[in-house]
Chain A
């Protein structure tokens, strides 16, 4: 996703992180899709063993074929919808702000921006077996803005992101304090 589609970068502003959910989240959806796609194959073998006449009947065979085709189309649609939902969720961290892009289903999208100066607290967590093995988890950014908390969900290296965010916030505060002194 191109950042310029989301925000207008200031002259000296740099994009430092472009974060998405860990790839394993989409992979889990993919595994479920593969299992669902195997269901008609299982049904085929079952019917072949129990009611083979259904598979060769003049009317039943096309009916089953159409049913199977419709089923696969719906599962395949679920695949692309899962990907779009996964891919369009993003968190952008620049030298000035944090942008939270949340795609909720197909017809709801929320974009929130937060100036680094309004960040009050940053917390990271990694919970569970798979998150510990693959090092992904959540980062919670407590704010003084309208949106009380920004949640970076299921991102890679959350503890590193937290540390770097805190460094960025400190640098941003020092820079703004220095600019404040210069203006006076």
Chain B
């Protein structure tokens, strides 16, 4: 029987957010580094960052009421001697 807090599911999500942040930085860096600093690229970058903030904020807002300390137990049910 394995028990773990529900907060464990935040780990893969956190990794996804890290990956997203890294790739987003690289993308924006590319635009700046190669001189693609035009009005259109600025608008698209702004939309992208605004969208990312919206997704993250909405997620954070919806997860406020979650009890992350809730223990999840995985395993096969045991059959005790008293069952017979």
Chain A residues within 8 Å of B, Cβ to Cβ: 1-2, 4-6, 58-59, 62-63, 65-66, 69-70, 72-74, 76-77, 79-81, 83-84, 87-88, 103, 106, 109
Contact = CB atoms under 8 A, between A and B. Distances in A.
B35 A76 contact: no
A35 B17 CA distance: 22
A88 B35 CA distance: 9
A80 B43 CA distance: 11
B22 to A, nearest CB: 10
Contacts of B9: 62-63, 66
A109 B31 CA distance: 13
* Interface majority SS (helix, strand, loop, mixed), chain B: helix
Contacts, number: 87
B30 A88 contact: yes
B62 to A, nearest CB: 5
Given A2-B35, A59-B6, A65-B59, A83 B44 contact: yes
B4 interface: no
A106 B31 contact: no
A73 B55 CA distance: 7
